[in-house]
């Protein structure tokens, strides 16, 4: 349902600009008058309130890092119909199908020995789930076998825990980064985009990719992981952490320069983490950056819904992570030298 709120001309000095408000799956949301929602996204959210099942999110054609587009993606992924995307459920399958269709539309290459983009596995609770993986090959024969993995996890808790921030926000960021990467010249190194399953059970999807990798992904060739988990609550504490950006790492060197282009963000540098899908990588000696915003009110609570996220900051965080990912992929630095095989570099 589309509702218009506000007034037109009034006799008072304080006029309220006309706003469009939409009844979506998680409540009523008002659009910023100065930043109109694009028609396809508008139709998407209207349909969410009119249909018994969620409408598909826009596929391609919408700008990367657009807050309204990212909102529509999160609203779909964190809709009651997908019920928190618990591994092995219809919601999990619908979310992975959405990611798979977006990868295909964007022209990411599938891995030859997988079922398209799907790396299926059975998790520790017996759920049949999977990772969704696509890649863009590097164009520099000297380093194209080196891999930068951009990742986020798909799953959440289910049973009414919808997981908008955790981690529909990260998946939306992943999709924006993948789109932006396809709209520029190929990087020197290969970029792998991975949406991991069963993270909440102990990073099982990322362990599956690293320990039982597809033939085209040699873990010994992975030189960096940039991971997003809960990037939608910047306004809660007004800081985003680039965890793993440790001293003397290639990412730290890049970020010190890149953050200057994002004055709207307070970026916390230099702290380690072993709390997300970066762990299977850094345990093998692969350096990482894990983007995370604190969510003291709604972390693993039923209030983690799409209507409460900070999409403006979320778009900036995803854009900054894109700059980092392609900066690493194009770096003239010897990234292999930063990998410490057999050494835990998680930072503890």
Residue 12 lies in a domain: no
**pLDDT at residue 115 in the model:** 80
Domain assignment present for residue 255? The answer is: yes
- Kindly report the CATH number assigned to the domain that includes residue 164: 3.40.630.10
In a domain, 16, yes or no: no
pLDDT for position 8: 34
Q: Which two tokens stand for residue 333?
A: 């630095």
- Looking up tokens 């709390």 gives 275
Q: Is 115 helix (H, G, I), strand (E, B) or coil?
A: strand
Question: Does a structural domain hold residue 224?
Answer: yes
pLDDT of residue 214: 94
**Strand stretches in the chain, DSSP E:** 2-5, 19-24, 27-30, 118-122, 128-136, 147-153, 190-196, 222-228, 240-243, 267-269, 288-292
Q: Is residue 52 a part of any domain in this protein?
A: yes
In a domain, 146, yes or no: yes
Q: Chain centroid to CA 109: how far?
A: 19
Rounded to an integer, what distance in angstroms lies between the CA atom of residue 194 and that of residue 182?
A: 15
Residue 237, class by beta-carbon neighbours within 10 Å (0-12 exposed, 13-18 middle, 19+ buried)? middle
- DSSP secondary structure letter of residue 240: E
Domain for residue 24, yes or no? no
Number of structural domains, the chain?
Answer: 1
For position 275, what pLDDT does the model report?
94
The pLDDT tens digits for 128-185 are: 999 999 999 999 999 999 999 999 999 999 999 999 999 999 999 999 999 999 999 9
Are 68 and 24 in contact, with CB atoms under 8 Å apart? no
At residue 276, the pLDDT reads 98
Please, what are the averages of pLDDT over each run of 10 residues along the chain (348 residues)? 31 34 40 38 38 56 92 96 97 96 95 91 98 98 98 98 98 97 97 98 98 95 98 98 96 97 97 97 98 98 97 98 98 97 91
Containing domain of residue 319, as a range? 47-338
85 within a domain of the structure (yes/no): yes
pLDDT value at position 96?
Answer: 97
């Amino acid at each position: 349902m589309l509702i218009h709120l506000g007034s037109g001309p009034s006799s008072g000095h304080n006029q309220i600009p006309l706003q469009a408000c939409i009844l979506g799956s998680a409540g009523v949301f008002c659009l910023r008058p100065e930043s109109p929602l694009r028609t396809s996204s508008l139709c998407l959210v209207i349909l969410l309130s009119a249909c018994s099942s969620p409408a598909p999110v826009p596929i391609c054609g919408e700008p990367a890092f657009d807050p309204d587009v990212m909102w529509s993606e999160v609203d779909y992924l964190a809709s009651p119909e997908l019920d928190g995307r618990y591994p092995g459920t219809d919601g999990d399958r619908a979310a992975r199908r959405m990611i798979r269709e977006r990868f295909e539309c964007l022209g990411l290459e599938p891995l030859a020995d997988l079922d398209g983009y799907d790396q299926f596995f059975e998790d520790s609770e017996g759920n049949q789930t999977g990772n969704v993986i696509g890649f863009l090959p590097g164009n520099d024969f000297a380093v194209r076998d080196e891999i930068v993995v951009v990742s986020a996890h798909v799953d959440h808790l289910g049973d009414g825990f919808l997981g908008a921030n955790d981690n529909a926000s990260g998946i939306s960021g992943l999709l924006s980064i993948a789109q932006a990467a396809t709209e520029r010249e190929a990087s020197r190194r290969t970029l792998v985009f991975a949406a991991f399953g069963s993270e909440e059970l102990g990073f099982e999807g990322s362990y599956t990719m690293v320990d039982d990798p597809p033939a085209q992904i040699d873990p010994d060739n992975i030189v960096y992981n940039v991971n997003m988990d809960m990037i939608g609550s910047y306004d809660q504490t007004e800081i985003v952490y680039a965890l793993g950006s440790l001293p003397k790492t290639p990412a730290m060197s890049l970020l010190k320069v890149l953050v200057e282009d994002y004055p709207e963000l307070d970026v916390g540098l230099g702290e380690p983490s072993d709390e997300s899908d970066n762990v299977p990588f850094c345990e093998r000696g692969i350096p990482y950056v894990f983007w995370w915003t604190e969510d003291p009110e709604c972390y693993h609570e039923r209030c983690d819904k799409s209507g409460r996220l900070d999409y403006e900051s979320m778009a900036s965080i995803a854009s900054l992570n894109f700059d980092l990912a392609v900066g690493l992929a194009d770096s003239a630095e010897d990234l292999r030298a930063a990998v410490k095989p057999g050494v835990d570099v998680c930072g503890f």
